[in-house]
């Protein structure tokens, strides 16, 4: 098979693996399907990857980088102040849930599809959640939360819960429900008046999930 795409075969294999695994599952996606989807020669798979697990792991790492870059950028753009950004991240989720290509969190999906022995893939999923938690905690600290670590873990539960409910129910409104729960958490998480003032800012028209 002649490979004429401007994108190299390695990237095309990664693109295909990411798409098929996200739309279906790891076990339902074989190497042959990935090769067909990528439009590459089968020998390219063996040239660039040691195994299917290696390909999937690298595809997950790349998705982690891209998803986190998108989520952090859009959350920071959602509001001018950290406390409002903590609520704004649920508006970002709502936008994601409304997309036709939303199929939940691939890292939660992978964790549910793999065995404890699938260490490499599980490690990428755990790394993703640590990175997401660290970003949320950084906003909690900037917002003046008295216990940023605890608040961040609680907000991460709301994020992952909203993603799961939106996937199962098909209702993007799960983001708005999680946002309102987050408002309650933020209301009791800090003694600084400025934090409550920022929370009020986030209730301006057009800010709802």
Q: Distance between CA 53 and CA 21 in Å, rounded?
A: 12
Q: Quick: pLDDT tens for 80-114.
A: 999 999 999 999 999 999 999 999 999 999 998 88
Judge if pTM exceeds 0.75: yes
What pLDDT, in 10s, does the model give residues 8-21? 999 999 999 999 99
Instruction: For residue 42, report the phi and psi dihedrals to the nearest 5 degrees.
Output: -60, -35
Alpha helices in the chain, H assignment, sequence order: 9-23, 31-38, 42-48, 52-77, 82-97, 106-113, 119-142, 148-169, 174-187, 193-201
Strands, E, within the chain: which ranges?
none
pLDDT in tens, 15-72: 999 999 999 889 889 999 999 999 999 999 999 999 999 999 999 999 999 999 999 9
pLDDT at 208: 42
Please report the pLDDT score of residue 194 as a whole number. Answer: 44
Q: Residues 6 or more apart from 83 whose CB is under 8 A from it? A: 143, 144, 186, 194, 195, 198, 199, 201, 202
pLDDT of residue 92: 98
Cβ atoms within 10 Å, residue 162: 25
């Amino acid at each position: 098979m002649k490979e004429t795409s401007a994108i190299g075969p390695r990237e095309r294999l990664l693109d295909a693996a990411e798409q098929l695994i996200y739309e279906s599952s790891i076990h339902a996606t074989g190497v042959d399907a990935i090769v067909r989807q990528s439009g590459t020669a089968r020998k390219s798979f063996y040239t660039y990857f040691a195994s299917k697990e290696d390909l999937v792991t690298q595809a997950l790492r790349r998705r982690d980088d891209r998803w986190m870059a998108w989520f952090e950028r859009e959350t920071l753009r959602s509001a001018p102040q950290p406390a409002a950004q903590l609520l704004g991240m649920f508006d970002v989720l709502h936008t994601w849930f409304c997309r036709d290509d939303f199929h939940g969190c691939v890292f939660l999906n992978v964790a549910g599809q793999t065995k404890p022995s699938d260490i490499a893939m599980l490690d990428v999923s755990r790394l993703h959640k640590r990175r997401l938690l660290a970003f949320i905690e950084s906003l909690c600290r900037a917002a003046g939360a008295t216990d940023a670590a605890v608040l961040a873990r609680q907000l991460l539960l709301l994020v992952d819960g909203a993603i799961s409910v939106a996937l199962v129910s098909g209702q993007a409104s799960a983001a708005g429900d999680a946002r309102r729960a987050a408002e309650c958490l933020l209301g009791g998480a800090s003694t600084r008046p400025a934090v409550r003032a920022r929370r009020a800012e986030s209730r301006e028209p057009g800010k709802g999930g």
